């Protein structure tokens, strides 16, 4: 049973981690495409129109990859997690079906019109198709996170005598206090990813003296949106999300922050430290006294419960992984703010385009928003363990009893090989599009 649970979790973790590399760019990029197209309508400068169509090509390839890698996730609910699907399908099936039927079709239909219908539709309707692509991608994120939020903080349900969960209040799914902080935080994080990608491509063009007018446009757009979104991810949305964890999952918060023992007189915030699970302490820690209490409750001396206050059988199953995932996310977010803040300063001083150190730094940082987003999702998922539905259904009780660990391991190895191949082909195609650069239309 332990082997089955381990391989089921590993397979889902691998496939969803690889899958989310693509939606996190498309959701953020769809907003920037709307911005470029809107600027074209306002200024009649063809650079903005060319930029919108260039990035929609990148969007479309990411979209296809997201679809291809997302389909196996749906099947895993029925193969590896059949008991979970049987018990909770009456609730999570509704939001997942809505995501597929409404958001996916909205996004895919108008993507085709944006790519091929500009001359037929005219510029205003072309802008509308881009906006509807954006709306579809963000609605998709909302419905997925509504599902996730119900698993983190279940609302509007009742449990039948046979153990199945049924929904008795549909609107509760969308008024869930866990939903909106998580959703806004996640969407802004996707804008951070898109901003670094757009800005990084702009920096690449400037360093190579190619497509310079687009390089300046992309870099300027990436820096402005990157700074704004990075700040908003940290505050207020990051703060809002963390306070939700304190309120609804205090045991998760204690593990995230590495608080093993309840401290009198306020809790310190950990800058660096390594969890020692066996001895229930942090090694080599560097901390600032009382800061965590102030950030959490605006009270320097407020007590925050440690893991020692909770039943050990309900502790997160991977405290070290949760702690590191959370601190990687926060640490990288701080670096994003610092880098984009310095780049904005140079932009205002009209020195950004020739400051090679910043240009190289932005290029180098392109992978790190992906890492930060992944670490953020790991924080949420590891924090909920050992539960599939928090405090109601344990992860061990949701797996399929008839699927052996050997079968799961075999298919996991297959996914790894296939996804590595898909990833390589994706990078080759995207690299060729970026190297060729935007198509320039004559004015």
pLDDT tens digits along 149-190? 999 999 999 999 999 999 999 999 999 999 999 999 999 999
Q: What do you get for the CA distance between the two ends of the chain, in Å?
A: 66
Q: What is the pTM of this model?
A: 0.96
116-129 pLDDT, tens per residue?
Answer: 999 999 999 999 99
pLDDT band at 2 (very low <50, low <70, confident <90, very high): confident
Instruction: Provide the pLDDT for residue 264.
Output: 77
Listed residue (200, 233, 186, 221) closest to 33, CA to CA: 221
Percentage of the residues of the chain whose pLDDT score is greater than 90? 91
CB 113 within 8 A of CB 35: no
CA angle 278, 281, 283 (to 5 degrees): 105
Reduced to 3 states (helix: H, G, I; strand: E, B; else coil), residue 400 is coil
Q: Which 3-state string (H, E, C) describes 271-303?
A: EEEEEECCCCEEEEEEEECCHHHHHHHCCCCCC
Give residues with Cβ within 8 angstroms of 343, minimum separation 6.
199, 223, 226, 227, 352, 358, 362
Cα 331 to Cα 234: distance, rounded to the nearest angstrom = 11
Cβ atoms 340, 230 nearer than 8 A: yes
pLDDT number for residue 441: 65
**Residue 74: predicted pLDDT:** 87
Give the CA distances from residue 281 to residues 262, 324, 330, in Å, rounded to whole numbers and listed in that order. 12, 14, 21
Burial class (CB in 10 A: 0-12, 13-18, 19+), 209: exposed
User: Which position has the token pair 């402005």?
Assistant: 224
Residue owning tokens 């593990």: 255
Domain locations along the chain: 198-402
Question: Averaged over 32-56, what is the pLDDT?
Answer: 97
pLDDT in tens, 368-383: 999 999 999 999 999 9
Average pLDDT of the residues of the chain: 95
């Amino acid at each position: 049973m332990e082997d089955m649970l381990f391989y089921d979790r590993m397979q889902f973790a691998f496939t969803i981690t690889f899958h989310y590399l693509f939606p996190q760019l498309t959701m953020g990029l769809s907003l920037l495409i709307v911005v470029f197209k809107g600027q074209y309508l306002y200024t009649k400068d063809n650079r903005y129109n060319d930029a919108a169509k260039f990035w929609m090509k990148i969007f479309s390839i990411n979209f296809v990859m997201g679809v291809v890698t997302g389909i196996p996730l749906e099947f895993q609910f029925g193969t590896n997690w059949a008991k979970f699907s049987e018990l909770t399908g009456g609730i999570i099936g509704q939001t997942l079906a809505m995501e597929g039927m409404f958001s996916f079709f909205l996004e895919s239909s108008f993507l085709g019109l944006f790519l091929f219908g500009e001359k037929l539709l005219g510029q205003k309707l072309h802008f509308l198709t881009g906006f509807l692509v954006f709306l579809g991608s963000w609605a998709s994120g909302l419905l997925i996170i509504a599902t996730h939020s119900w698993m983190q903080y279940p609302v509007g349900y009742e449990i039948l005598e046979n153990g199945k969960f049924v929904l008795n209040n549909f609107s509760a799914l969308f008024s869930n206090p866990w939903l909106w902080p998580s959703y806004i935080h996640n969407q802004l994080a996707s804008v951070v990813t898109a901003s670094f990608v757009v800005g990084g491509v702009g920096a690449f063009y400037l360093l190579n003296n190619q497509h310079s007018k687009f390089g300046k446009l992309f870099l300027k757009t990436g820096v402005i949106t990157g700074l704004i979104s990075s700040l908003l991810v940290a505050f207020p949305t990051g703060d809002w999300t963390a306070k939700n964890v304190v309120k609804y999952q205090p045991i998760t918060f204690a593990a995230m922050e590495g608080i093993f023992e309840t401290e009198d007189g306020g809790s310190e915030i950990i800058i660096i430290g390594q969890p020692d699970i066996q001895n229930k302490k942090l090694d080599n820690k560097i901390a600032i006294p009382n800061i965590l209490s102030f950030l959490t409750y605006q009270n320097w001396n407020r007590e925050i419960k440690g893991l020692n206050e909770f039943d050990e059988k309900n502790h997160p199953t991977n405290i070290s992984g949760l702690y590191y995932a959370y601190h990687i996310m926060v640490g990288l977010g701080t670096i994003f703010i610092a880098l984009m803040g310095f780049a904005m300063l140079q932009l205002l001083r009209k020195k950004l385009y020739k400051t090679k150190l910043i240009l190289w730094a932005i290029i180098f940082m392109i992978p790190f928003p992906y890492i930060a987003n992944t670490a953020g999702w790991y924080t949420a998922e590891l924090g909920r363990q050992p539960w599939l539905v928090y405090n109601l259904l344990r992860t061990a009780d949701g797996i399929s009893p008839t699927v052996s660990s050997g079968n799961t391991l075999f298919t996991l190895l297959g996914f790894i090989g296939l996804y590595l191949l898909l990833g390589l082909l994706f990078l080759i195609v995207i690299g060729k599009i970026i190297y060729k650069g935007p198509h320039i239309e004559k004015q």
